[in-house]
Amino acid sequence: MRQPTIHDVAKHAGVSSATVSHVLNNTRRVSEKTRLRVMDSVKELDYRPNLQAQMFRSGKKYLIGFIVPDISNNFWAVIIEAIETVLARQGYKLLLVNTKKTYTREVENVRILSSGICDGLIIASTVTDWRDLQEVLPHNYPIVLLDRKLNGSPWENLTISNYNSVYTGVEHLIIHGHSRIGFITGLEHLSTSKERLSAYKDALTENNIKIDDSIIRYGDSMAMSVFRHVDAILEANCTAIVVSNNVMTQDTVYYLTEKGLRVGTDIVVLGYREQGQNDHDLRFMSLISQPSEELGRIAGERILAHVENPDTIIQNVVLYSTYTRRSG
C-alpha cells in the first residue's frame, strides 16, 4: 500500500502543500482552525513525514537531550513528561540520559550528545563549575540549565526558589513549640541544597535558636539513603525533622513508621511532595510542593527558542514552591 504524501494530506485537508508544511514544521503562523484540520488529516491518513528529508533540509536532528541526575525521582518524571509534550508539538523527540549524579557520566554525555546527536540540551547539572561543561561543548551550542544554578555560566537558568517555603515551614515548627529541629539535606555542593539549608538556618537564628551542626545531616537525595540520618536526629532528641527532597521524605516517613513512630504525633516532619505523588502517609505532615510541571513546560519552550534562533535573549526564570501546613 502506498504511503500517503504531503500532497495527499493537503488535498484531504483542503489546503496547499505549503500550508501543511508550515503546520508540521511551525515555520509560519497558521490559524488554529486550519492547523487542527491539517492535523486531523495527518492522523486520519496516518501520514508520517520523511524525517531524513526534513533533517537534510533543515540541518536539524529534531532531537533534544535531557541530562537527568536521578530518573527514579518523581520530580524529574513530571518534568520529563511536560518537556516531551512541548517538544512533540514542534516535531521534536526527547533523549534522556540518567547520570546518577555522577560527574564523569554528566560531562561525558554532554560531550557525546552535543557532538551532532542532539540539536540542544537541557541539563540538570551536578557539576560545581560550569566551565567543566563548556570545555566539551561546541561554540554557541543551545543549552538550558534546569533546577540547579551554575553561577556565572553563559546559559539560561530555570530554577525553583524554595527559600521562603522552607523558612516559613521551619518558623511554623518553632511557633508550635519545636526547638530541636533536625535537617536532612541533599548533596552539599548543589545550589538547591545550599538555598534550603540557608532558609533553615536563618529561621532558627532569627527566632533565637542556636544552630546545632550535629543535627544537620547531609544525604544524597537518593532512595534508601536517609535511615542513618534519621537515627542520628532521633538520638539527638529532636521533636521535628525537615527533609529537603521528596525521595528522602518518602523514605523518612517509611522508616519512622517502621520504627513504630507516628508521624504528626510522635515526631513532626516537614518534607517535600511532588505533583502526581500520592502517598497515604504524607497526609499527616507539613509539605512543600514545587511547580515541576510548569518548570518542565518552560524548559521545553526555552530550549526550542534557542534551537530555532541562536540570537534568542537569555531569560533566567525563577518559580516558587508552596508550603502547606498539615501538623503542628
pTM above 0.85, yes or no: no
* More confident: 71 or 203: 203
- Does residue 275 have a pLDDT over 70? no
pLDDT score, position 46: 85
- Does residue 327 have a pLDDT over 50? no
Read off the pLDDT band of 50 (50, 70, 90): low
The DSSP secondary structure of 193-238, one letter per residue, reads HHHHHHHHHHHHHTTT----GGGEEE--SSTT--HHHHHHHHHTT-
Kindly report, residue by residue over 190-206, the tens digit of the pLDDT. Answer: 899 999 999 999 999 99
Give the distance, in angstroms, between the CA of residue 45 and the centroid of all CA atoms in the same chain: 36
Give the C-alpha distances (Å, rounded to integers) separating 140 from 54, 82, 131, 136, 144: 23, 26, 14, 12, 12
Mind listing the domains of the chain with CATH numbers? 6-49 (1.10.260.40), 59-160+292-323 (3.40.50.2300), 163-289 (3.40.50.2300)
d(CA 20, CA 11): 10
* Spatial contact of 4 and 13, defined as CB atoms under 8 Å apart: no
d(CA 64, CA 119): 6
Lowest mean per-residue pLDDT among 130-134, 271-275, 305-309, 321-325: 271-275
In what helix (H) or strand (E) does residue 323 lie, and over which residues does it extend?
Answer: strand 322-324
Q: What is the mean pLDDT of the chain?
A: 89
End-to-end CA distance of the chain: 68
Kindly report, residue by residue over 159-189, the tens digit of the pLDDT. Answer: 999 999 999 999 999 999 999 999 999 888 8
Give the number of other CB atoms < 10 A from CB of residue 24: 19
Task: Quote the cell numbers at residue 299.
Answer: 524548559
Kindly report, residue by residue over 130-158, the tens digit of the pLDDT. Answer: 999 999 999 999 999 999 889 899 999 99
d(CA 297, CA 313): 18
Lowest mean per-residue pLDDT among 90-99, 207-216, 220-229, 246-255: 220-229
